[in-house]
Copies of this chain bind each other. A is one copy, B any other.
Amino acid sequence: MPGSIFGEAFRVTTFGESHGKAVGAVVEGVTSGLPLCEADIQKDLDRRRPGQSDVTSPRKESDTVQILSGVFEGKATGTPVALLIWNSDQQPSAYDPIRDVFRPGHADYTYQKKYGIRDHRGSGRASGRETAARVAAGAIARKMLAQKGIEIRAYTLQVGDIRAARLDYAAIDENPARCPDPEAAARMVELIRQAAAEHDSVGGIVECRASGVPAGLGEPVFDKLDADLAKAMLSLGAVKGIEFGAGFAAATMRGSRHNDPITPTGFASNHAGGILGGISSGADIVFRIVVKPTSSIAKEQRTIDTSGRETTVRAEGRHDPCICPRIVPVVEAMAALVLADHLKRQAATEV
């Protein structure tokens, strides 16, 4: 009932606040015998880590992960794998000015209403830092999926009104925007720098593709594969929407166009985004999420304090002026958690 557990057969519990002692995850359902070590996980964490370029937060976190359990002599034993990442570069005093003020676009106000209390330091549990635990857990899922031939790639498709025009996987990690179109990437980085210079932030769109997913994953009727992917993505604080395949463009399409013809060698198009009736079809799974512009900006904004009085606030902490580049590995992680879960669920279905 509380909300820090995700998945059923492959299941993750996370904990931790931005400026508490640590963030971490307990991962259940890791297949026994899977070779697993900290380096497998660190690799993905390093892609999410702050301070990778001048368009991300300068917070210095090594984000070093420790495996506390569930691995013996280099292999998963089938018992829970606990992952721990200590917070090292906390600067809680940087948040003193917002102790009694609600920042617009943030969870400050809603946490206070929900719990009657909040850890105001760097958004506490609502911080993007919480996603480090997801990336760590997702790295294990990705390793399991890779052994089944399933690969997941996410990338920045759009920043502001600049949209990638081509898809070159090799280019993604070669530019700070994590955009698969190097030319668009350069313009995106420029736009992000400009927003930052104006003490502002900018939104964008991230696309994700999973290939090698066998047909048959997803549970009718509520736990459809797209329903669970949608939940996974909307559980990320900055994500305000998701669309599969043709997505919102389907509103203006005819059925004769949207329906993907089936041929002996597969689907002739992929407007469905690889999911029909909530079950994977074997075609690539394709979805896009919209990432809102970072709420924390250094510009002055109208708000109220905890007593309800009018005031203004400007964010003083260290923030990403565009969330897209750093959310890319998080999106991959969450997609991996969903697919690993449904892969295991399907095994239960079949027996």
For window 59-79 of chain A, which residues contact chain B by CB distance below 8 Å?
Answer: 66-70, 72, 75, 77-79
Summarize A's interface: helix, strand, loop or mixed: mixed
Asked if A97 is an interface residue, CB under 8 A from chain B, the answer is no
A-B contacts, 27 listed (Cβ < 8 Å): A2-B9, A5-B11, A31-B351, A77-B124, A78-B349, A105-B259, A107-B277, A109-B215, A110-B215, A110-B280, A114-B217, A114-B346, A158-B251, A160-B252, A203-B251, A222-B231, A222-B235, A227-B235, A234-B244, A235-B278, A243-B290, A250-B290, A250-B293, A255-B297, A264-B304, A264-B308, A347-B347
Interface range for A: 35 or more
Known interface pairs A17-B70, A235-B278; 12 further A-B residue pairs with C-beta atoms within 8 A, sorted by A's residue number: A1-B348, A2-B349, A3-B219, A4-B222, A8-B8, A15-B70, A21-B66, A21-B67, A68-B84, A106-B277, A111-B279, A203-B250
Q: Which of A79, A215, A251, A256 has the most CB of B within 10 A?
A: A251
Chain B's nearest CB lies how many Å from the CB of A75? 6
Could you mark each residue 296-310 of chain A with 1 if its beta carbon is under 8 Å from any beta carbon of chain B, else 0?
Answer: 110101111000111
Question: Which of chain B's residues have a CB closer than 8 A to the CB of A235?
Answer: 221-224, 227, 278
Copies of this chain present: 4
**CB closest residue in chain B, given A34:** B117
Chain B's nearest CB lies how many Å from the CB of A179? 13
Other-chain residue from B32, B124, B203, B254 in contact with A116 (beta carbon distance below 8 A): B32
Chain B's nearest CB lies how many Å from the CB of A216? 4
Would you call A3 and B220 a contact (CB within 8 A)? Answer: yes
Chain B's nearest CB lies how many Å from the CB of A157? 9
**CB closest residue in chain B, given A130:** B221
**Known contacts A259-B104, A344-B348; A125/B221 CB under 8 A:** yes
Question: Which of chain B's residues have a CB closer than 8 A to the CB of A273?
Answer: 240
Stretch at the interface among A22-30, A44-52, A167-175: A22-30
